[in-house]
Structure 1
Amino acid sequence: MQATAFTYDSETRSGSVLLDDGTPLAFEAAAFDAGGLRLLRPGQRVRIEVEGEGEGRRIALVTLQTL
């Protein structure tokens, strides 16, 4: 699934993305680390993998979207 980086805190390596429908979804350091990224800037297009449903939905992986 694709999204747009919305926030990122380099100290905690956590942040949030906006799904294409505008829904915000937070990610933790584990998801950021799983993608092998070093930095993320707001506005960058990312690819995410999501686990769970409803309130239990969480991002498991964040990587840069490449064409």
Structure 2
Amino acid sequence: MTTTTDSPRWFKSSYSNNGGNCIEVAANIPGVVPVRDSKDPGGPALMIPAMAWGAFLDTLKAARLG
């Protein structure tokens, strides 16, 4: 849950210039990583636990290197 002082600061990857099929994430909310569809900024956001998001990124990095 966010408060007015903990508003998500959304960003998307510099690699995402692909016609709008992007997600945005916010890394400034303690304990969670909000994820949303960049085409619908007023829509819902998934609130991923920070440890799960880190494991997801680790898996992506390992697959890219392997």
Q: Counting helix residues as a fraction of each chain, which structure ranks higher?
A: 2
* TM-score, length of structure 2 as denominator length: 0.30
Q: Counting strand residues as a fraction of each chain, which structure ranks higher?
A: 1
